[in-house]
Amino acid sequence: MFKVQVRFALLALLLPLLLNATHILKNDLLNPEASKLIEEMGNELISKTGINGYVVATNENFVEKFNLVEYSKKYEANVSKPYVMLIFAPNAVITAKAETTGRVALITSSKELAKLYDKGDVMDATIDVVAVQDKNTKEDKYNIGIVQGFSELADQIADSKNVEMTTTLPNETKIIISVLRVIVIIGALLIFWVFFFRPIYMRIKNGKK
C-alpha cells in the first residue's frame, strides 16, 4: 500500500512537468539527438524571453496550397502563449505541375511576435541545409535543417530581447554567405580601382587633364 502511495505521489509531481516538457508537438522525422537539442533550446528560450518555441516535424503529404495556419490550430491544446511554431513538412506539395515538395512555415500566436525575427532568415537556415548536394542522407538533412532553423529562430528572438542564447548552434550557412559577400565587395572595389579610379589618379599624377 505504501509503495502505491509513493508511486502515485511521484506521478502527481512529475505529470505537470511531463505535460509541459516538450517543445516538439509532432515528430515524424527527428532523431533523439536532434530532439534533445530542440528541447534544450526551447527550454532556454522560454526561461530567458518568456516566449515558447515549438516544432512540428511531419511527413504528411499535404496537397498544393494546403493551409498550414489552419493545420497549426490542431495543436492549440498543447501550446502555451506566447509562442512561435516552426512547421517542417518535406512531403508537402509546392507545385503539383513541377512535382516540387517541401514547405516550412512559421506560425505565431500574435502579429507582434512575428516582428521579433526575420522569417526569410529562419526559413533559409532550415531549407539551405536540405538543398545542399552532399553525402548526407535525406533523413540527416531533415534533422540538421530543423535544428538549424529552430536555432536561428531562437537566436533572433533572444537578440530582440537583448539576451544571449547558450544552447543554439552557429549558422554556418550565414557565415559562409557573409564571407562571400565581403569577397564580392572587395572584388567590386578592385574592379572600380583598376578600370575607373586608377586611370583618373594616373592622369592627375602625371599632370594630365
Lookup result for grid cell 506566447: 82
* DSSP for 128-195, written as a single string: HHHHS-SSS-HHHHHHHHHHHHHHHHHHHHHHHTT---SS----HHHHHHHHHHHHHHHHHHHHHIII
The three three-digit cell numbers of residue 203, written as one number: 592622369
**Phi, psi dihedral angles at 164 (to 5 degrees):** -115, 135
Tell whether domain 2-169 is in CATH 2.60.40.1120.
no
Q: Greater confidence, 191 or 159?
A: 159
Q: Give the tens place of pLDDT for each residue, 83-122.
A: 999 999 999 998 877 778 999 999 999 999 999 999 999 9
Q: Give the tens place of pLDDT for each residue, 2-34.
A: 444 445 444 444 444 344 448 999 999 999 999
The three three-digit cell numbers of residue 45, written as one number: 528560450
The three three-digit cell numbers of residue 8, written as one number: 502515485
Query: Model's pTM, two decimal places?
Result: 0.72
Domain ranges of the chain: 2-169, 171-209
- How far apart are the C-alpha atoms of 187 and 179, rounded to whole Å? 12
pLDDT of residue 16: 41
Q: Give the tens place of pLDDT for each residue, 84-95.
A: 999 999 999 988
Q: How many CB atoms lie within 10 A of CB 141?
A: 16
Tell me if 93 sits within 8 A of 122, measured CB to CB: no
Q: Greater confidence, 136 or 143?
A: 143
